[in-house]
Amino acid sequence: MHEEAAEIHKYFPIRKNPVEEEYIKHLWYAFLTLDSAGEFVQPFTMMPFHLLFMLALQYKALRIAKEMGRDYATAFTIRNIRDIEMLRQPTSVFDFSLLQERTLPDLFRLVNLDEKLISKIKKLVSYRNENLAHANGGIAREFNLKIIEYLECLRLIQKKFISLNDNLADIYKGKITAEDDKNEFIETRLFDSLLCPGDFEEGSLNGVFGLVGSYV
């Protein structure tokens, strides 16, 4: 399962700070260890993978906060959310851990994510909570199918960022020349954009920069 699951790295930013990088590595290697440990352990691969999934969502939410500031700010006016001031102007991907997991998908209405997919994400959260988050005898026996569902959700969310990516491409297409190293350009000029490898697979960013290399 680990080869298919590695797709999740496509949705993490190309450039991350050391703390974020280390956290992702801890979760990923925990997943790999559990995945290789046999049938009595494999169902618990969902625990680290779920956290990887939520972190991928939090990175997308942070990008929304940065690029859609006014619309993002209004998303918190109708909810009673703890630490609301920090979330109004988040500075770290980890700030979004203050949100209840079932609340986070609601933010993706700002990029026109459909209600059916928002509901599906919430059901994945509920499945993890009901089967693995508490000592209630639950076992995630459908862990392979659930990991596939996580990835399917991320693919569909990724498509909703094409328009934002196209806006970035319009800004930079006149600033990059044939002599420029595209990977270096991305590292130096787009380092704080939260762009992930998946952002370069479709739309105008692909036309300007092409595909980004391996994401694992």
CB crowding 164-201: b at 16 or more within 10 Å, else e: bbeebbeebeeeeeeeeeeeebbeeebeebbbbbbbbb
Using an 8 Å Cβ cutoff, are 29 and 176 in contact? no
| 54: pLDDT strictly greater than 90 | yes
Q: Residue 65 and residue 48: Cα distance in Å, rounded?
A: 25
CA distances from 46 to 144, 147, 162 (A): 9, 7, 29
Percent of the chain with pLDDT over 90: 50
- pLDDT tens-digit readout, 112-134: 999 999 999 999 999 888 888 77
Question: Does 196 have pLDDT greater than 70?
Answer: yes
Give tens-digit pLDDT for 8-29.
999 999 888 999 999 999 999 9
Q: Tens digits of per-residue pLDDT, 78-118?
A: 555 555 666 878 899 999 998 889 989 999 999 999 999 99
Compute the distance between CA of residue 46 and CA of residue 146 in angstroms, rounded to an integer: 8
Rounded to 5°, angle at Cα 112 from 108 and 115: 75
Strand ranges (DSSP E) for 70-112? none
* pTM recorded for the entire structure: 0.91
